[in-house]
Amino acid sequence: MMIAPSDAGLPAMLGEIKVLQGGGAISPDARALFERSLSDDPNEPAARYYVAKAKISDGDTVGGLAQWRALLAALPSTDTRRSALAQQIADVERTGRLAPARSSEAGPPPAELTDAIRGMVDGLAARLRDQPDDPPGWVRLVRAYAVLGETDKRDEALRTARTRYAGRPDELSQLAAAASTAATMAAGR
């Protein structure tokens, strides 16, 4: 099944992969992905959750809790994440800190999440094959392949985009930045 990537959803899901790879820790790379997601869509739930969690982890408990409460209020009453978030809020209010990570935290197991990410990335790649004049899409694709550790696909997407935008310095600059970010992410794997 192909999942159509959204501008905000892809970085948020890639951030979640990074969190899972880090055993629940929100690395600087993951946080940057969540913040990118929020710049595309300030209402993206996963990104809002993790940015608030990072604030609490960094010692800004008041700020993080305020963001979690706002997220809880924004989630539909039928959203299955509501009860887990409400419990986390209550725990942090009671203890003043985050509870240790549990293996049963909300979210699909890493293999399922990785499959969902791969579906989104495959969808983005297919869309770019059909509609290749999308410089931000190529940048997202290069970064996504880097996070997934698919360096051959990352390099091929980068070559294709560089060839396509050879006469466009702005696009080449963005691709160079993506390649630099991608190399940093790949080195951190």
Domains of the chain by residue range? 9-95, 132-187
Q: Give the number of residues written for the chain.
A: 189
pLDDT digits (tens, 9 = 90+) for 12-25: 888 888 887 777 88
Query: In 96-150, where does DSSP find H-type helix?
Result: 110-130, 135-148
Looking at residue 50, its pLDDT comes to 92
Cα angle value 170/144/121 (rounded, 5°): 110
Q: How far is CA 42 from CA 7, 86, 133, in A?
A: 11, 21, 26
Please compute the mean of the pLDDT values over residues 58-83 and round it to a whole number.
90
* pLDDT band for position 110 (cuts 50, 70, 90): low
HSE-CB of 170 using CA atoms within 13 angstroms:
3
pLDDT digits (tens, 9 = 90+) for 146-178: 767 788 998 899 999 999 999 888 888 877 777
Looking at residue 106, its pLDDT comes to 47
Looking at residue 24, its pLDDT comes to 81
* pLDDT band for position 112 (cuts 50, 70, 90): low
* pLDDT band for position 111 (cuts 50, 70, 90): low
Residue 58 has pLDDT above 80, yes or no: yes
Residue 103 has pLDDT above 50, yes or no: no
CB 6 within 8 A of CB 127: no
Question: Measured between alpha carbons, how far is 117 from 123 in angstroms, rounded to an integer?
Answer: 10
Looking at residue 105, its pLDDT comes to 47
Return the H-helix or E-strand segment holding 44.
none
CB 71 within 8 A of CB 48: yes
Question: Measured between alpha carbons, how far is 23 from 37 in angstroms, rounded to an integer?
Answer: 21
Percentage of residues of the chain with pLDDT beyond 70 = 79
More confident site: 131 or 119: 131
Question: Measured between alpha carbons, how far is 124 from 119 in angstroms, rounded to an integer?
Answer: 9
Classify domain 9-95 at the CATH topology level: 1.25.40
Q: Averaging pLDDT over each range in 53-62, 96-105, 114-123, which range is the top one?
A: 53-62
Among residues 26, 2, 149, 22, the alpha carbon closest in space to that of 12 is found at 26
In angstroms, how far is the first alpha carbon of the chain from the final one?
27
Looking at residue 51, its pLDDT comes to 95
Looking at residue 2, its pLDDT comes to 35
* pLDDT band for position 28 (cuts 50, 70, 90): very high
